[in-house]
Structure 1
């Protein structure tokens, strides 16, 4: 990434911090015992991470703090939008899947988009942890990290919340749907 790409203007910086602080304060059940001032200090010391959070926000992810790793002194952000982020839908799983499509290729792949944004796809375990904080993806679904043995056979995994449970499904990695996007995490 070029240096220009990862820097926010002072106004963008200030606006994003305001949005994140408001979301933090309005959803204390997601991060009991954590203090915004410490998180903001960490964010301001990591401008490239702030840029990635802005990308999560810009694409509809509504990132919020969900955990603090005390050993590493890192805060973990997840996409907490009610449905899979609208700006990250209609994507196949990875570059290989994108290239394998002969017709009606989507604009991008999940893995390429996440990499460009400096974020990581949620794992199945992280997706299940997210669902303990609320009910997400009641109408949409989200791609999750896929084990290599599944991917090598042409598949990829996605999850959603239906009937009071997390469901994990599979699809061809080259498939894409208007109601399927991806959720991500970022460590700061």
Structure 2
């Protein structure tokens, strides 16, 4: 599968991202849209733009949340109010998916993220996201699970309730209609 946008898709994505950027200035203080647009229209790889479009297509509503001072790359997080609708009802990873004897979900969070060319937010990134607004007040999102927890069969997810970010655990093979995953991408 070719991971590249058509000219029309590229233009539509830039238009959507600009509108979201301008509507949510608190998420990217000190960053100018003109600089982001230059990166997206110039040096950004076609595959990364495709990944950003996949974040949008699956209802993640990606937005700029920072800049990596070492690389100069802009950091995009999924900023949809609730866990992205197009990425719910997934167990954590392939191993968990394979362990299910029946009622297997379509796929897993890590597999879908890899196919999209993005990574799951870490617990730290999830907490950073919550500083920019209120996210996942009705849903929850898988986050990157430490290997020692995963080796024991578990996986972790976060949500925002009672004014607090909660980190929970579950069997990695579990999946729920209200749990998806949030991703990030550096461009």
Scaled to the shorter chain, the TM-score interval is over 0.9
Alignment partner, residue 95 of structure 1: 94
Point out where structure 1 has 5 or more consecutive residues left out of the alignment.
Answer: none
Q: For 2:17, what is the secondary structure of its paired residue?
A: helix
TM-score by length of 1: 0.97
| Separation of aligned partners in 1, 2:169 and 2:70 | 35
Q: Which residue number in structure 1 is paired with residue 26 of structure 2?
A: 29
Describe the SS at the equivalent of 2:138: coil
The answer on whether the counterparts of 1:79 and 1:183 sit within 8 Å (CA) in structure 2 is yes
Match of 2:155 in 1: 156
Question: 1: CA distance between counterparts of 2:101 and 2:70?
Answer: 47
The equivalent of 1:132 in structure 2 is 131
| Deviation string, structure 1 residues 21-80 (Cα, Å, up to 9, x no partner) | 000010000001111111112122222111001000000100000001222101100000
Runs (4 or more) in structure 1 with deviation over 3 Å come to none
Q: How many residues align?
A: 185
Among 33, 39, 42, the alignment partner of 2:36 is 39
Normalising by structure 2, we get a TM-score of 0.97
Unpaired runs of 5+ residues, structure 2, are: none
Q: Counterpart of 1:13?
A: 10
For the Cα contact (< 8 Å) 1:155–1:173, is it kept in 2?
Answer: yes
Cα distance, 1:91 vs. partner? Answer: 0.2
Q: What residue in structure 2 maps to residue 185 of structure 1? A: 184
Provide the rounded CA distance (Å) in 2 between the counterparts of 1:170 and 1:101: 18
- For 1:70 and 1:27, the matched residues in 2 are separated by 21
In the alignment, structure 1 residue 146 sits paired with structure 2 residue 145: yes
1:116 alignment counterpart: 115
In structure 2, how many angstroms separate the alpha carbons of the residues matched to 1:71 and 1:170? 33
Q: Which residue of structure 2 lines up, in the alignment, with residue 80 of structure 1?
A: 79
User: Per the alignment, in what secondary structure is the counterpart of residue 50 of structure 2?
Assistant: helix
